[in-house]
Amino acid sequence: MKKIAKRDLFPGALEMMILQTLRRQPSHGYALVQDIKRTSRDLLQIEEGSLYPALQRLLKEGLVKAEWGVSSTNRRVRIYKLTAAGAKHLELEVSSFERMLEGITHVLAPGES
């Protein structure tokens, strides 16, 4: 009831977007959120806090790695980087997502069947 708070994304979507963003360039948490919000043109409602559990999951599975560094605004931050495994995982996820999306689009498209 309260554990899975109203979530607009399907499971794994946030992780996929994080990986995709990190593929372009390593980044720290706050910048990551801003990036995703910006690229999604604020269409997605992301609670900023939900980023951190997702990052920890990715860390644990070895899809990203983290290092302490200094940000452009001169803050001590943890910078996340995509690993090779992460890149591979992203590819798989994206292709399976695209297949799913295609399927859903077919079903939802009026007239066609």
By the criterion CB under 8 A, which residues form the site for other proteins?
1-2, 29-30, 33, 47-50, 52-53, 55-57, 59-60, 71, 73, 75-78
Quick one: 42 or 98, whose CB is closer to other proteins?
42
Within 13 Å, how many C-alpha atoms sit on residue 67's CB side? 6
Least Å distance, CB 105 to other proteins, is 31
**For 42, phi and psi rounded to 5 degrees?**
60, 20
Residues sharing a CB contact under 8 Å with residue 70, sequence separation 6 or more, in sequence order? 76, 77
- Give how far Cα 68 sits from Cα of 34, 74, 79, 88, 111, Å: 19, 12, 6, 24, 54
Least Å distance, CB 104 to other proteins, is 28
Least Å distance, CB 19 to other proteins, is 16
